[in-house]
């Protein structure tokens, strides 16, 4: 069961909260009917369906069909021929009895609803519309619970069985540069909280510190997707970072997701290097260490020019009027000539900022002085990834080869079928001649 609270505006939507129950779904109602009739048939017909795999499959298929029929009919019969040991079985189920058997499951429906409202910081009165999707939502008891909880009738304006697939296809078209669709912005939020863990009591700790694990929350629950965070570490050698769930309770998965080994990199003796690590949460909801950069400060000599011109001359140049800043027509150094013209614009024998015959622009003495300046040098550091529970490169290669072989077999079968059809068409054509 999944619950999503989203806010809609023209041309966009924003996901406010996620909530779910991994072990609650339509299959649980099938199992309720399955175990009920399995026990009933064992008592009446002396057959144990659980001991026969084929009988279990047939009974589960009949129970799924009965569940769907109970959504529209108050009473539904069941008849299965030769279920096991050439025994024909039959049964009957009323909707009230089915709801009583499913009561432990129905009591769990409100949990994700309350959690989603709490995470979004909303109340029931803030919900404008309730839409239900999925085949399991057709059970009348679920609609009754939703109506009582939200104080409004759930709507079914979308195809409950196909809307998820259609929405996924539309999102793929939005992300793909190949297809052109109407612009619609989806502001997704991350349903989990992700933290990074490393050895030591802080970002400047050494890997030699035993049994001292420090963690930091990087992507809190509800963080926008995609997102990038940068962390700075001070290390003297290769170190590792673990990506893990901050709260793994109810996840039914290991808390650790992956481990990244950052290094090796060169540092000066008895010094710690400054390493900047970039962590990315991509549009698909996958967290990875995207880049690690070594930052080193270097002192470089930069030349600084000192003007030996007198201070009054500079003051006069700054205070000269704008109309006296016209450059001489044959001046090579425009900046210097412009300053000299400004400086002499108000003096006798000067017209429009250009000196008269025999007057030359004042020369300025420039001394180049070397001054040390700090510069940051950036160097990429190797990053090795280890994903827990993922396929090894060898397994991926084997699976790719197997897929290629199967595709080749399908192609050969299709080509053989086409050739046979062509031969048959040729035979009929020759007979007609």
Write the CATH number for 279.
2.60.34.10
Q: Give yes or no: residues 101 and 196 share one domain.
A: no
Last residue of a domain, one of 299, 319, 350: 299
Can the peptide bond before residue 226 be classed as cis, meaning omega within 30 degrees of 0? yes
The reply to whether 281 and 402 lie within a common domain is no
| Cα dihedral: 175, 177, 178, 181 (round 10) | 60
Whether residues 220 and 142 share a domain: the answer is no
Strand intervals (E) in 71-212: 75-84, 87-94, 185-189, 194-199
pLDDT at 348 over 80: no
CA atoms within 13 A on the CB side of 399: 6
295 and 399, same domain (yes or no) = no
Domain-located, residue 77: yes
Using one digit for the tens of pLDDT, what is the confidence trace for 94-134? 999 999 999 999 999 999 999 999 989 999 999 999 999 88
pLDDT of residue 310: 43
Domain termination site, one of 247, 277, 299 = 299
132 close to 160: Cβ distance less than 8 angstroms: yes
Q: Does the pLDDT of residue 267 top 70, yes or no?
A: yes
Dihedral angle sign, alpha carbons of residues 35, 41, 46, 50? negative
State how far the Cα of 274 lies from the Cα of 370, in Å rounded to an integer: 28
The two three-digit tokens of residue 322, written as one number: 């704008």
Q: Quick one: average pLDDT of 298-311? A: 59
Residue 428 lies in a domain: yes
Nearest residue to 293 (alpha-carbon basis) of 399, 380, 212: 380
Q: What is the pLDDT of residues 413-432, one digit of tens each?
A: 999 999 999 999 999 999 88
Q: Looking at the structure, do residues 144 and 200 belong to the same domain, yes or no? A: no
Going by C-alpha positions, the residue among 210, 278, 268 that lies closest to residue 237 is 268
- Residue 399: inside a domain, yes or no? yes
From the list 26, 94, 21, 97, the residue with the least C-alpha distance to 64 is: 26
Residue 335 lies in a domain: no
**Greater model confidence, 11 or 346:** 11
Residues 43-87 pLDDT 10s: 998 999 999 999 999 999 999 999 999 988 999 999 999 888 888
Question: Mutual orientation of helices 26-45 and 53-70 as an angle, nearest 10°?
Answer: 120
Is the predicted pLDDT of residue 365 greater than 60, yes or no? no
Helix, strand counts (H, E) of the chain: 10, 17
**What is the sign of the dihedral through the CA atoms of 260, 266, 271 and 277?**
negative
- Report if residue 94 sits inside a domain: yes
Question: Please, which residues have CB within 8 angstroms of residue 110's CB and are 6 or more apart in sequence?
Answer: 145, 149
| CA distances for 359 relative to 307, 314, 396, angstroms | 22, 19, 84
Mean pLDDT, the chain, rounded, equals 81
pLDDT value for 174: 87
| 292 and 198 part of one domain | yes
| Structural domain for 200, as ranges | 192-204+211-299
Statement to judge: residues 48 and 146 lie in one domain: yes
Q: Same domain, yes or no, for 10 and 127?
A: yes
Residues 6+ apart with CB under 8 A from 71: 138, 139, 140
Q: Is residue 121 part of a domain?
A: yes
Please state the domain count of the chain. Answer: 3
Ordered strands of the 185-189 beta sheet: 2-9, 12-20, 185-189, 224-225
CA atoms within 13 A on the CB side of 213: 10
188 and 158 Cβ atoms separated by less than 8 Å: no
pTM, rounded to two decimals: 0.66
Per-residue tokens: 42: 């064992």
| pLDDT (tens digit per residue) in 15-48 | 999 898 888 888 999 999 999 999 999 999 899 9
> Is 371 a domain residue?
no
CB 76 within 8 A of CB 92: yes
Where do we find the tokens 């009446």? Answer: 44
pLDDT band at 311, cuts 50/70/90? Answer: very low
Do 289 and 417 fall into the same domain? Answer: no
- On whether both 119 and 21 belong to a single domain, the answer is yes
- Which residues does 179 contact at the CB level (< 8 Å), separation at least 6? 173
Instruction: Report pLDDT digits (tens) over 312-341.
Output: 444 443 433 333 333 334 433 433 333 333
Domain boundary, last residue among 299, 316, 339:
299
Q: What is the pLDDT of residue 137?
A: 83
Q: Are residues 142 and 272 in the same domain?
A: no
107 and 231 belong to one structural domain: no
pLDDT at 424: 92
Contact (Cβ atoms closer than 8 angstroms) between residue 113 and residue 19 = yes
Query: Both tokens of residue 67?
Result: 């569940």
For residue 360, being part of any structural domain is answered with: no
């Amino acid at each position: 069961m999944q619950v999503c609270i989203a806010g809609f505006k023209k041309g966009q939507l924003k996901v406010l909260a996620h909530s779910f129950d991994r072990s609650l779904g339509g299959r649980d109602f099938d199992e309720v009917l399955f175990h009920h009739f399995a026990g009933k048939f064992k008592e009446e017909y002396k057959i144990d369906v659980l001991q026969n795999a084929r009988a279990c499959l047939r009974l589960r298929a009949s129970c799924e069909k009965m569940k769907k029929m109970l959504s529209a009919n108050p009473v539904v019969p069941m008849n299965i021929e030769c279920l096991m040991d050439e025994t024909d079985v039959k049964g009957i189920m009323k909707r009230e009895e089915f709801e009583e058997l499913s009561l432990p499951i129905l009591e769990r429906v409100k949990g994700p609803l309350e959690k989603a409202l709490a995470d979004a910081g909303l109340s029931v009165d803030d919900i404008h519309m309730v839409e239900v999707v999925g085949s399991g939502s057709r059970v009348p008891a679920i609609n009754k619970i939703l109506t009582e909880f939200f104080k409004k009738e759930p709507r079914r304006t979308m195809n409950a069985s196909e809307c998820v697939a259609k929405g996924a296809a539309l999102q793929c078209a939005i992300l793909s540069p190949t297809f052109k669709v109407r612009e619609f912005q989806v502001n997704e939020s991350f349903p989990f909280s992700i933290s990074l863990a490393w050895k030591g009591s802080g970002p400047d700790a050494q890997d030699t510190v035993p049994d001292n694990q420090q963690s930091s929350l990087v992507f809190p629950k509800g963080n926008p997707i995609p997102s990038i965070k940068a962390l700075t570490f001070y290390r003297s050698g290769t170190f590792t970072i673990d990506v893990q769930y901050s709260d793994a309770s109810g996840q039914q998965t290991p808390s650790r997701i992956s481990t990244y080994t950052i290094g090796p990199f060169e540092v000066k003796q008895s010094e710690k290097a400054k390493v900047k690590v970039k962590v990315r949460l991509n549009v698909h909801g996958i967290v990875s260490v995207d880049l690690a950069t070594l930052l080193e400060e270097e002192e470089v000599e930069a030349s600084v020019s000192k003007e030996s011109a007198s201070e009054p001359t500079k003051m006069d140049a700054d205070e000269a009027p704008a109309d006296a800043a016209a450059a001489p027509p044959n001046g090579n150094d425009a900046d210097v000539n412009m300053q000299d013209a400004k400086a002499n614009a108000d003096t006798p024998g000067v017209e429009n900022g250009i000196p008269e015959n025999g007057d030359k622009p004042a020369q300025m003495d420039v001394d180049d002085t070397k001054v040390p300046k700090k510069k940051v040098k950036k160097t990429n550091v190797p990053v090795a990834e280890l994903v827990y529970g993922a396929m090894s490169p060898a397994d991926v290669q084997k699976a790719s080869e197997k897929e290629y072989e199967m595709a080749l077999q399908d192609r050969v079968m299709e080509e053989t079928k086409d050739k046979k059809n062509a031969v048959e068409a040729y035979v009929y054509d020759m007979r007609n001649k």
